[in-house]
Structure 1
Amino acid sequence: MLFFVLFAVVMGAAHYYIWKRAVRATTRPGRGRRVGTAVVVALYLLVMAALAVSRLGSGFGVVVAWPGFVWLAGAFYFALILGVLEIPRVLLVRAARRREVPAPVGVAEPVGAAEPVDVPDAVVETPDGTLGRPEDLGRRLFIARSLAIAGGVATAGVVSYGTTQALGDPVVKRIPVTLAKLDRRLSGYRIAVVSDIHLGPLLGRAHTERIVRMINEQQVDLVAVVGDLVDGTVAELGEAAAPLRDLVSTHGSFFVTGNHEYYSGAEPWLAELERLGVNPLRNERLAIERAGASFDLAGVNDVNGEAFGDGPDFDRALAGRDPATPVVLLAHQPVQVREAAKHGVDLQLSGHTHGGQMYPFHLAVGLQQPVRSGLETVDGTQVYTSNGAGFWGPPVRVGAPPDISVVELHHKFAG
């Protein structure tokens, strides 16, 4: 509820700004302005409705979610671009004002004048609420309309591009990772990492089938699904997740919870995934062996599980293991690497951030997570963060294309 209220306030402010610059500043008082105002209000209500029904698997939820979430991205970028255009707007308005002559508000007829004086030009209200001559109004309307049109065209271009990125095939990334303790017999071991698939009203069975097909084409040794698989219940999305049973790898498929699993009913989903052959790691560890060598694969629950009595337990997952054996940890959020480092984890595989999903949201991600995207080292532990294969909210990705990552482990040769 708190998130919904904050979201309503932020989107209300964005829509007010859009109305001010794209409706009030571009129209004279009258029918056109009333129609424009009604459109902006309707779009605001559409966004709020999309958020409210986005977790419904019904046809109504899909019908509302698609236009609502597309406009959510549109509203964000339209407000952002109009904000950037404030600089040329101010400069153009100042230049226009220098050409304006103050409009007289009335002229008294001289006492005893034989002839009446000319009536001054009419005074009109300009879009910014000041008084001016008709030619001044036309000049300011031209500036406001030109910038609003430019902002609208730019917004349409950005959102259209972002939609093609979000709905297109994920990029397959190949990520070589060197582990000092890895036995050379395991060098070249390949793990397919996929996160944030986000099955829901906008992404269904076809999305899962595409991901499974792309992973199977890589012929990997192990598949790691690192959380946020679904946005809905098993009853609503079980059929959409069913193709996961077709994942093929040498040592199987494994899963750890993300925050959205807890919003969607974690226990039923964990049981369903186990039925599909995707093995949940709930604060657990097992040995992965090949050619007489092994490494530990561990998984911890998402931090949001704490509110549901099912939080991460690093001691349970990692205590008692052989410190000479490398350990690869599956953990949904990169921020969990700080605790992982205390337990001597060699490599953590994560998602959650979506790589920021829509530029410049990547700046906000950096305030919450130590790694936004890619491979980095935090407190001595390497952590790889996937952009995710789906999206949340708007079906738009700008600057952070979806991905499926193939992490290839390598032995560190001395010298």
Structure 2
Amino acid sequence: MVIVFGVLVLGVLVAGNWYLWRRLFRDTTRGPGWARRGGAVLIAAGWILAISALVAERAGAPFWLQRVLAWPGFLWLAVAMYLLLALVAGEAVRPLLRLFLERRTARRTADPASSPASEPLKAPQEPARTLSEVPATPDVSPAPEPPQTASGPTAPEPATTSAPSPLATPTRRLFVSRVVAGAAAAAAVTTVGYGTYGVLRGPKVKRVTVPLAKLPRAAHGYRIAVVSDVHLGPVLGRGFAQKVVDTINGTQPDLIAVVGDLVDGSVKDLGPAAAPLAQLRARHGSYFVTGNHEYFSGAEQWVDEVRRLGLRPLENQRTELPWFDLAGVNDLAGESEGQGPDFAKALGDRDTARTCVLLAHQPVQIHDAVDHGVDLQLSGHTHGGQLWPGNYIAAAANPTVSGLERYEDTQLYVSNGAGAWGMPTRVGAQSDVTVIELASRQA
């Protein structure tokens, strides 16, 4: 099955890239030449960089090499995806554009007599004369002689008319292909450029009020700053971490919850990038739970590092705050290392009369949260889809992709995340730091 799946994926990639080359380069040129060959080289080079960036990150290549490959490689993936979507959408435009041009040409050539320039000149008519005015003998005038040249008389040149051929160069099909390809390229580059700018400028603050039935009146208005999926790595480094920290501190929260996927790399490579986390400030402190990417990057080392930076890791643990319990469970990816989530350990012996807020990276953990009487689960992981139409794929794998939803007596809030994984680009899923404001129904 793995082999079959791999062959199918390879076939889709080959077909998709052949389609890109055909629409962008073959259909927009007149014949074999440097443009077609250059297009093939460009597409191949983009994929070589993208695959190399992915392999370098997973294989733990020297960090400088990861950074060199990451920007062009991951941006190519985003551009290629939106080029493909734009060109597919352009297939619906092609016949309409050709029909428009055909009708325009037909209107210009259908009735040449309707054009003033094409009407024949009419000889002026003499006024009618009476019989008395008619001369007795016909006035015979000699025929005009043809113009003379040095070599003799010259025959008059026959009148010639040349009907214009609209869009003769380039041909109509070539013209349509160039228009569609140019529009697709412009749309893809603009979309990716704006989406990348949206990530690099830092997350926006989103505010959500969550009413909780058991929350005491004294805790009404309690603010939890939720940040997930920062993804510090070869692309997003220390400067980006500082923007995230400044954004969180600017909300003046009572508590900070970092719900996984903080990094994509080792402590050795990314320790300096994560250093600004030591500046996080909240009245009741900062807490951290692992995401799946921590287990790709050395989870134990990162748990120790965030603890050193002043955050408190909740590894299947619970702490009692003045007005509610705060619990955290490890990510599902930790099961491969014997460090998976343990809800019984985190929640088994708690006082169920108290409100419980759970930090869990993946939304799919909501079902266990419901079984253990959790009031509110805070998660990330989905990135809100990150790149439209990825939200539809994320919806197939997660109960909630973004925002607040209720599951029986438990509410689930899923953050879009502050950063981006792989492609440093977001389309249709703005990065965010969410301020959850708890509301007591007794207030």
TM-score of the pair, normalised by structure 1? 0.85
C-alpha change, 1:59 and 1:80, in structure 2 (3 Å) is same
Assess if the C-alpha contact under 8 Å between 2:224 and 2:257 holds in 1: yes
The corresponding residue for 1:321 is 350
1:270-289 to structure 2, matched below 5 A, reads: 270-289=303-322
Partners of 1:240 and 1:34 lie apart in 2 by 41
- 1:62 corresponding residue in structure 2: 67
Aligned equivalent of 2:259: 226
Greater Cα offset, 46-55 or 2-11: 2-11
Partner of 2:92: 87
8 A Cα contact 1:195 1:350, kept in partner = yes
For 1:21, the equivalent position in structure 2 comes to 23
Mapping of residues 8-407 of structure 1, within 5 Å: 10-31=12-33, 32-54=35-57, 56=61, 58-92=63-97, 138-289=171-322, 294-407=323-436
Gaps of 5+ in 1: 100-133
> Per the alignment, do residues 4 and 92 of structure 1 end up closer, same or farther by CA in structure 2, a change over 3 Å counting?
same
SS across alignment from 2:27: helix
Distance 2:10 2:361 in 1: 28
Greater shift in the superposed pair: 10-19 or 182-191: 10-19
**Is 2:216–2:442's contact at 8 Å kept on the other side of the alignment?**
no
Q: Secondary structure of the equivalent of 1:23? A: helix
Name the stretch that deviates more: 225-234 or 27-36. 27-36
Aligned-residue offset at 1:59? 2.1
Determine helix, strand or coil for the equivalent of 2:293.
Answer: helix
What is the Cα deviation at residue 93 of structure 1? Answer: 5.5
Structure 2 unmatched ranges of 5 or more: 106-166
Counterpart code for 2:76: W
State whether residues 357 and 378 of structure 2, in contact with CA within 8 Å, keep that contact through their aligned partners in structure 1: yes
1:11 shift after superposition: 4.2
The answer to whether the 8 Å contact 2:57/2:265 transfers is no
Calculate percent identity across the aligned residue pairs.
52
Matches of 1:7 and 1:275, distance apart in 2? 43
Aligned letter for 1:355?
A: G
* Residues 8, 190 of structure 1: alpha-carbon distance in 2 compared, 3 angstrom cutoff: farther
CA separation in 2, counterparts of 1:249 and 1:160?
Answer: 35
State how far apart, in whole Å, the 2-side matches of 1:44 and 1:286 are. 48
| 1:57/1:201 contact within 8 Å kept | no
Q: CA deviation at 1:92?
A: 4.5
SS of alignment partner, residue 298 of structure 1: strand
Residues 228-237 or 367-376, more deviating: 367-376
Following superposition, the deviation at residue 203 of structure 1 comes to 0.8
The aligned counterpart of 1:105 is none
Q: In structure 2, do the counterparts of structure 1 residues 264 and 185 end up closer, same or farther at CA, with 3 Å as the change threshold?
A: same
Q: Aligned partners of 1:57, 1:210: CA distance in 2, in Å?
A: 26
SS of 1:182 mapped into structure 2: coil
1:186, distance to aligned residue in structure 2 (A): 1.2
**Relative to structure 1, is the Cα distance of residues 168 and 94 closer, same or farther in structure 2, using a 3 angstrom cutoff?**
same
The offset of 1:29, in angstroms, is 3.2
Letter of the aligned partner of 2:285 in structure 1? G
1:218 CA drift (Å): 1.7
User: Residue 373 of structure 2 aligns to a residue in which SS?
Assistant: coil
Change (3 A) 1:405 1:8: farther
Distance, in Å, in 2 between the alignment partners of 1:263 and 1:137 is 54
Instruction: Tell me if structure 2 keeps the 8 A contact 1:12–1:44.
Output: no
